[in-house]
Every structure is written in structure tokens, then in C-alpha cells.
A and B are shown apart, each in its own frame.
Chain A
Amino acid sequence: MSALETQSAPSSQDAAPVRPRWQTIIIRPETMTLILLVLGVFAGGLLSPYFLDINYILKSFTLYAEVAMVALVLTMVIIAGEIDLSPAANMALSACVFAWMQQAGIPIPVAVAIGLASGVLMGAINAFFAIALQLPSIIVTIGTLTLYRGLAQIIAGDKSIRVPEWFIGIDKIMLAGIPLPAVIFIVLAIVLGVVLGGTIFGRQIYQIGTNEIAARHAGIRSARIKLILFLLIGFVAAAAGIMTASRLGSVRYDLALGQELQMVLMAMLGGTYIFGGRGTILGTFLAAWLLVIVSTGMIVANVLPAVQLVVLGGLLIVSIVATNFIYSRAQR
């Protein structure tokens, strides 16, 4: 949002009249996501009488909360002009490291800390290749996604590692009737939303993504900011992995397999521009709920999986077309 405002501010002084408020609202990409979300809720209600149950929807959200948390940070990484496809593998490896440690007799809090630290380390490895060596982050993180998954398989083998009984069930803990993973997601969204939309640091992220060279000339330390983002996504991915371990009660190397696409999907559905510079936390926040509503609505109505895939694919296309259309209109 701040990027849009800063861009349009000087031009409005020159010639174009100030856009009416309703127009500035309607051209925001999140508006599209919100409309789809409302439509999704209605469609779900029509499809199945069992769908419109807030407890069920919140419970279903816990299945996606871990991935959605990472998608929030991924949104910031994409806005900064980079991408990270390794967080799902990071989730698996961090969870395996954690489970392996606690199985070896290390106290749970220490094992959690080591798991989180390993996630940060994985973020640092990505950052080293993408920032210090200036390699394209899409290639680097496709490489590390395979590497981290492979290491997880070396640690866990084909077996699953159990976690202690008392550690199981983060999704059963309720705060004011909302499952803990959903609460964590909401709090993280608020914090990151404020950081991205309301701080200098956030504005600098947009500027790096819009034009990194210009940003550097303007004195923005782009390498440092990108490093922080890679470390942050590594940390959040590790936390998500350990939360998944608590939800499932066991850890396998194939935890969150293929979920990196869900994360990218959430960011894209929320109107984040894949080439950087544009996007908001609010958009990804709404997109995560949209994805849960649509998937859950179709699953509880026993819609054929093939149809579900078609609908999800269609949604993504609609949102990308809409995002590009809106941005191209907004720039006129």
C-alpha cells in the first residue's frame, strides 16, 4: 500500500486529478481476494449443510496454519524481489532435527531451540548463495529444497520419529475459542503487516523490489535487508515444522512435501506481484483463508478431487489476471 501511495503522490500533483476514495479501494488487489473469500463462504454454504460451522472452519484452518505462516514471510521475500522455494523442506528438516534431538534425550525446550536454530541456519545458507554469490534465488532454493529434504531423509530414514504424548496437540489448545495455530497466524500477520506497511524497514523492502539498483543508490542496504528476510523465513519455517510435529504427533522426512507451492499460491492469490515491489500482508492473510474456505468447502461436500484442482487452478488464474489488470490500470 505504501508503495502505491508513494508512487502516485508526485504524479497527482502534476496533472491527474486525485482519485476518488472508492476507486483507490477497488483497485487494491486485496479487494479481489476479499470478494472471492465472501463468494467462497456462500458457495461453501450452498454446497454442503455441514460447511457453515465456525468451529469446523477454524479447525480446518489449523491444517493450513503452518504453511500460511510461512506464506506471510514469503510475501515479504517476494516483494523484495527474491523468492524462497525451500521453506517446506526446511519445515521437514527442522522438525526432523528437533524430533531426533528429543529422541536422543535432549530436553524438549532445548530441542525446540536447536530445531529453530537449524531453520535459521538453512535461511542463512540460502542467503549466502542468493546474496553473497548473487545467484538467482529461484535456482538456489530449488537446489536447497532438494538438499534439505534429502538431509531430512538421512536423519529420519523411512521411519517416523514419535514426539512425547504431552507435546502432541497444539491444534487442540484453544484461546478464546480459536485454535492456537490460528492465533499464532493472526498475531504474526498483524506484526508483519505493521512492519511491512508502517515502518521504514517495510518501505525499503518495497523499494528494493521495485528497483534494487536505485534503492542502493538511495542508500538502502539491500543485502542486509534481504539477509534479514531469508533468516526470518528460515526461522518461521522451522517454527511451522515443529508446530506440524505437535499437530501430527510424529515426524517423517516427507512432512509438508510439496507445500512450497501452497505458500506461493497464497502469496499470488493475495495479489503479490511475482516480480517484486508489490503486495501486502493483508492480501496473503485473506488468501490463506480463501484457500481454506474453498478447499474445505469442496472437501466436505465430497466434490471430486479433480474438480477441486480445477477450481483452485482457476482461482489462481483469475487472481493473477486481476492483479495484473489492476496494476496496469493503476499505473495509467
Chain B
Amino acid sequence: MLKKSLFGLALGLTMATGAFAQDPLSIVYVGKNTGNPYFDSITGGFVDACKELGCEFEFVAPPTAEATSQIPFIEAQIQRGVDVIAIAPNSPDALNQVLDDAKSKGILVLTVNGDLTGNESHRDATILPVNFDIVGKDQVEMVGSLIGYEGEIAILSATTEAPDQNKWIVGMNETLANDPKYAKMKLVATVYGDDQPEKSTTEMEALLSNYPNLKGVIAPTTVGIAAAAQVVQSRGIASTVHVTGLGLPSEMRDFVKDGTVTAFQLWSPYNEGWLAAHFAKGVKEGTIKNEVGSTFEVPNLGTVTINAGNSINTQAELTTFNAENIDDFNF
């Protein structure tokens, strides 16, 4: 009985919803979970872009980052009839079916800041911060510029199995071996702090006692760089040992302000949102072709190319944070 009356209501409403079809482009970004400041920054990019482009934007996220927790949220967006679903997927494959549903309804599905590795056919394109192939080279250049391209350096990484970090470390080793610019720099050790503050601190202290001539440390992980900076700060040796790597501006701000760390790198999550909104608008209006090899212009970011696997990077190189610009970032 209840269902029958609901059905009647639904019939009446389908006509009403039809009238919304001419609304401005609506984009929704499904985050991994709520309460994650990193996503505030991505959302900021979407919001600002949508203000300029005249599209509607909303951010939704489940309370937990559990594999299937995003499914009801995606279903709801399909029901609401949005034009674009951007998502930071919590699972590489649990979302396959619901994303297929969205695509079959003509919704543009983008993964932003994380991809469906191995299931790329279930999304239309992915927007990632940076081409991970060049992170190692960028980091070597960073530490080289800090130590005058001469002396002993070490790497403080995450776990021995961390796929991203290992890829970057291979890049660092290749750059050091092949580029004559870095010939006078010597990598003396690669150690692993397992992304735990305590273990990272212990490893950093061991590096300092084992290699008294150490001039630079690359920590390509947010936990590692914060721990290494802490050790350098408490020992007051910032003038002899230079710590750099990949870190969050929010965690590193104090170290940069007091001179413990001169500069470090990461990407700009803001630009991911900014680019995704521009890309979505362009594809939906037909001005951008979502094909490998095609290019398009994004204000402030220049010409962007769609790479193999419909993968788009927001920046060619990492963003460097230092005392001058760190206050501009809040993630």
C-alpha cells in the first residue's frame, strides 16, 4: 500500500524533475571521508573554478573511508541527476558497478587525487597531481640546490614496500648516477621509518651518528620529513644538515618559519580541483576532447595534455614550499 502511494508520488515528481534539465552544469566531488583537511584544499579549487565557470558544485563524503561507504553517496548523486561525478575512490574495484551505472546515465566520471588502478575502464579520466616519474629527479635537484651540489646525502623513506616511494627512490638513484650536475653528491644510505614518527626519528638520529659528514636528507614522505625536521630542530644543526622532501605545509610551517627547513615540496591539491572543474566543463560542452594526446588550456596552469590512460596531471613539476609562500597553503 505504502509503495503504491509512493509510486503515485514518484510519477508526479518525474515530470517536475524533467524541468531541472536546463540547469547549469552540476559537479559533485565525493571525498574519501569527512574531516580530512587535504580535501578542503581540492574542494577549494572546485569552488573557485565553478564560480568562474558558472557551474554548481557540491562536496559530499561518507563518515568513514571504508571500501563501500561511497556507494550510497554515488547512487544519490545519480538520482539527483548531476552531470559530473568526481571522486577520490576508497577502493580500486568495489565502486565498479555503481560507476558503470553513472556512466550509463551519461554522467562524466572522473577520479581526482587517486585512481581505480587496474579498473580504469570504469571512469572517464583521472586527474592526478603530478607525473610520478619525475618526482625523484625533482627531489634530487631540491636537495642539491640546498647543499651546493656537493657532499653526502641520505634518504629517509616510508616502508620498504611503499610503491610510490620506491618508484621515486629509483628515480633519485638514476638521476644521481647519470646526471653530471650531481656528480659530486654521494648517496650514503637509504633508511626506512615505516611512516611512524618514532621509528622515523630513531632512523634519523642513527643517520646523523653514522654519517657525521652528512649534509642533506631527502624524506619523500610527510611523516618522515616532519620527524627528520624535529630531530634537526632539537639538535640545532639546521646550518649543517639540510632536510627536505615531501611534506604537508600545515605540518611543516613551524619548521620553515624558524629556519630548520629551507624548502620542501609537494603538489597543490587546490589545482586538482581547479583543473578537474575546467576539464569537466570543457568535455561536457564539447570544447575539450577526452582523448589521449589532445590538449586544452586551463587558466593559471597553461596547456594541459591528456596522457596515456586518459590520465591528466595538474603540474609538470612539484610545488616548492618555502618561507615566502607557505602561508598561502592551508592543507
B177 to chain A, nearest CB (A): 33
B138 to chain A, nearest CB (A): 29
A53 with B93: CB separation less than 8 A: no
A248 with B63: CB separation less than 8 A: no
| Binary B-proximity of A156-195 (CB < 8 A = 1, otherwise 0) | 0000101000001100000000000000000000000000
One of A113-121, A203-211, A251-259 at the interface: A251-259
Q: Can you list 19 A-B pairs with a CB-CB distance of less than 8 A?
A: A41-B2, A49-B13, A53-B10, A53-B13, A54-B6, A54-B7, A54-B10, A59-B75, A60-B72, A160-B93, A169-B97, A247-B97, A250-B94, A254-B66, A255-B68, A302-B60, A305-B34, A306-B63, A309-B63
CB neighbours of B91 from chain A (8 A): 160, 252
B96 with A300: CB separation less than 8 A: no
**Complex alpha-carbon distance, A50 and B73, angstroms:** 13
**Complex alpha-carbon distance, A228 and B52, angstroms:** 64
CB neighbours of A250 from chain B (8 A): 93-94, 96
**Complex alpha-carbon distance, A84 and B75, angstroms:** 31
A50 with B96: CB separation less than 8 A: no
Is B17 an interface residue when CB atoms closer than 8 A count as contact?
yes
**A258 in complex: contacting residue of B61, B66, B79, CB < 8 Å:** B66
| Binary A-proximity of B51-79 (CB < 8 A = 1, otherwise 0) | 00000001011111011100111011001
**A53 in complex: contacting residue of B62, B68, B79, CB < 8 Å:** B79
Given contact pairs A50-B79, A50-B81, A300-B80, A41 touches B93 in the complex (Cβ within 8 A): no
Is B92 an interface residue when CB atoms closer than 8 A count as contact?
yes
Given contact pairs A254-B66, A299-B72, A302-B60, A56 touches B97 in the complex (Cβ within 8 A): no
Is A296 an interface residue when CB atoms closer than 8 A count as contact?
yes
Task: Known pairs A49-B16, A247-B97; list 17 more (Cβ under 8 Å).
Answer: A41-B6, A49-B13, A50-B79, A50-B81, A53-B14, A60-B75, A160-B92, A248-B93, A248-B97, A250-B96, A258-B66, A296-B76, A299-B75, A300-B79, A302-B76, A306-B34, A309-B63
Within 8 A of A (CB), among B7-32: 7, 9-10, 13-14, 16-17
Q: Which 5 A-B pairs have the closest CB atoms?
A: A300-B76, A305-B63, A299-B76, A250-B93, A53-B10
Is B235 an interface residue when CB atoms closer than 8 A count as contact?
no
Q: How large is the interface on A (under 10, 10 to 19, 20 to 34, 35 or more residues)?
A: 35 or more
Given contact pairs A60-B72, A63-B72, A248-B94, A52 touches B9 in the complex (Cβ within 8 A): yes
CB neighbours of B13 from chain A (8 A): 49, 52-53
Number of CB contacts from chain A to chain B under 8 A:
89
**B96 in complex: contacting residue of A48, A249, A305, CB < 8 Å:** A249
CB neighbours of A54 from chain B (8 A): 3, 6-7, 10
Given contact pairs A53-B14, A55-B10, A295-B72, A249 touches B63 in the complex (Cβ within 8 A): no
A252 with B97: CB separation less than 8 A: no
Q: Give residues in A with beta carbon < 8 Å to B.
A: 38, 41, 45, 48-50, 52-57, 59-60, 63, 160, 162, 168-169, 247-250, 252, 254-255, 257-258, 295-296, 299-300, 302, 304-306, 308-309
**Complex alpha-carbon distance, A45 and B92, angstroms:** 34
**Complex alpha-carbon distance, A299 and B74, angstroms:** 9
Given contact pairs A52-B13, A60-B75, A63-B75, A305 touches B80 in the complex (Cβ within 8 A): no
> Which residue, of B3, B58, B67, B79, has the highest number of chain A Cβ atoms within 10 A?
B79
A252 with B67: CB separation less than 8 A: yes
B96 to chain A, nearest CB (A): 5
CB neighbours of B2 from chain A (8 A): 38, 41
**Complex alpha-carbon distance, A55 and B10, angstroms:** 9
B4 nearest CB neighbor, chain A only: A54
**Complex alpha-carbon distance, A60 and B75, angstroms:** 8
B190 to chain A, nearest CB (A): 24
> Which residue, of B62, B71, B76, has the highest number of chain A Cβ atoms within 10 A?
B76
A185 to chain B, nearest CB (A): 14
**Complex alpha-carbon distance, A148 and B66, angstroms:** 18
B72 with A252: CB separation less than 8 A: no
CB neighbours of A305 from chain B (8 A): 34, 61-63
> Which residue, of B2, B64, B81, has the highest number of chain A Cβ atoms within 10 A?
B2
**Complex alpha-carbon distance, A48 and B66, angstroms:** 26
A52 with B6: CB separation less than 8 A: yes
**A63 in complex: contacting residue of B6, B71, B80, B93, CB < 8 Å:** B71
CB neighbours of B10 from chain A (8 A): 52-55
A305 nearest CB neighbor, chain B only: B63
**Complex alpha-carbon distance, A160 and B119, angstroms:** 12
CB neighbours of B63 from chain A (8 A): 305-306, 308-309
B17 with A50: CB separation less than 8 A: yes
CB neighbours of A63 from chain B (8 A): 71-72, 75
B28 to chain A, nearest CB (A): 8
A168 with B97: CB separation less than 8 A: yes
CB neighbours of A252 from chain B (8 A): 67, 91, 94
**Complex alpha-carbon distance, A66 and B96, angstroms:** 19
CB neighbours of A59 from chain B (8 A): 75
CB neighbours of A56 from chain B (8 A): 75, 79
B307 to chain A, nearest CB (A): 26
CB neighbours of A248 from chain B (8 A): 68, 93-94, 96-97
**Complex alpha-carbon distance, A162 and B96, angstroms:** 11
> Which residue, of A247, A302, A304, has the highest number of chain B Cβ atoms within 10 A?
A302
CB neighbours of A304 from chain B (8 A): 34
CB neighbours of A55 from chain B (8 A): 10
B7 nearest CB neighbor, chain A only: A54
**Complex alpha-carbon distance, A55 and B78, angstroms:** 13
| Binary A-proximity of B86-104 (CB < 8 A = 1, otherwise 0) | 0000011110110000000
**Complex alpha-carbon distance, A252 and B91, angstroms:** 10
> Which residue, of B7, B60, B68, has the highest number of chain A Cβ atoms within 10 A?
B68
| Binary A-proximity of B36-63 (CB < 8 A = 1, otherwise 0) | 0000000000000000000000101111
> Which residue, of A53, A168, A169, A308, has the highest number of chain B Cβ atoms within 10 A?
A53
